[in-house]
Amino acid sequence: MLTGCEESLIEMGFSKTPVKIATTESDTDDEVYTGILESLENGTLVSNHNGKQDGDKVSEIINKIRADYPEYFWIDGCTITTSKGKSEIAINIVDGCKPSEIESMFGELTAKADEIINQIPPALDDYNKVLFVHDYIVNNTTYDTAGAESDENGLYGTSYGCLVQGKAICQGYSQAFQYLMKKIGIECGICTGDSYQGRHAWNYVNLNEKYYWIDVTWDDPVGEIETLSHTYCLIDDEHLFRTRFNDDDLDFVPHCYSMDDNYYVRRGAYLAYYSDEEISKILNANAMTGYAEIMFADESSYKEAIKRLFDDGVIWNLIGGTEVTYTNDDTMYIIKISY
């Protein structure tokens, strides 16, 4: 060492012992989530992150963002590029959408959502707001059977496809419903799983501090005369899981134990037992439309209703018309009568 240098080097912060060079740590999952979300909010498809990002982890984060923000309808996975300790995450977009069209399509979606919400009478309670949105989606959406059979992830599986284009599959129905619930301040989420009809998606909502299931897709049945049904409108676990199982890896699955705000209960059309008098009250209450939906609490009362009303002909004593048609659901214990 040169004379006089040792002391000055130490004073300047240098040392004779090796010094560890600081390295940049990889972004955490929360930081990746926030970074991707910020890019979406800024209208870009690319976000940059520190470190090498695990593909499976990023896929989970992308799916969580899609679950939390159904308005970002264009998301279809991502591509990760890693170089020199940095990762670039580029959002892939669904079939039928171009990067140059995203901004205008997003504007169409938000404008349509606002249009629908502005139709909701301000005096309605949360139950009737949920019912309004449920009925609007069913009445203004056609189930896209071609989309359901496609191998591509298209707009039919998005909130845009449902609300703007009026064609969707279950994922699109459920994302549209969740988006509108989010905009009016009602807690809502999406669950997925296997049903007796195959892979499926549906919603849950929180009303009066109680969770309920709602399946807008299956209330818009394909190939039936009725375009509006309420079979799966605000039901509990016992009713929902007659027809499906939820996926095991979902972040949150609510316990839905109440039927207090069920559609049939609220309309006085949920019967614990068969009664000519109670059936007559329901038919009279719906005489203006000539259409009634009735749910029974158990299989025995439901079967008694089928026998009494239609096999024994009691229905003719309860209506003033000369023509009656009905459909029945042996799983949900529901009878739908047109008269």
The pLDDT > 70 percentage for the chain reads: 91
Model confidence at 85, pLDDT cuts 50, 70, 90, reads confident
Cα–Cα distance between 232 and 262 in angstroms, integer?
Answer: 9
In this prediction, residues 81-105 reach a mean pLDDT of: 93
Q: pLDDT digit string (tens) for 258-308?
A: 999 999 999 999 999 999 999 999 999 999 999 999 999 999 999 999 999
In this prediction, residues 89-93 reach a mean pLDDT of: 94
Task: Specify whether domain 29-93 bears CATH 1.10.3470.
Answer: no
Model confidence at 232, pLDDT cuts 50, 70, 90, reads very high
Q: pLDDT digit string (tens) for 21-64?
A: 344 688 999 999 999 999 999 989 999 999 999 889 999 999 99
Strand-pair category, 167-168 with 142-143: parallel
Model confidence at 322, pLDDT cuts 50, 70, 90, reads confident
Q: Is the pLDDT of residue 4 over 60?
A: no
Which residues partner with 245 through β-bridges? 194
Cα–Cα distance between 79 and 73 in angstroms, integer?
Answer: 17
Q: What are phi and psi of 86, to 5 degrees?
A: -125, 150
Q: Where are the domains of the chain?
A: 29-93, 98-264, 267-339
Best CATH choice for the domain 98-264 from the list 3.10.620.30, 3.40.1210.10, 3.40.1360.10, 1.25.10.10: 3.10.620.30
Cα–Cα distance between 270 and 293 in angstroms, integer?
Answer: 9
Candidates 263, 212, 216; CA nearest to 238 is 212
Candidates 199, 198, 210, 200; CA nearest to 235 is 210
Q: What is the pLDDT of residue 18?
A: 42
Q: pLDDT digit string (tens) for 187-227?
A: 999 999 999 999 999 999 999 999 999 999 999 987 655 56
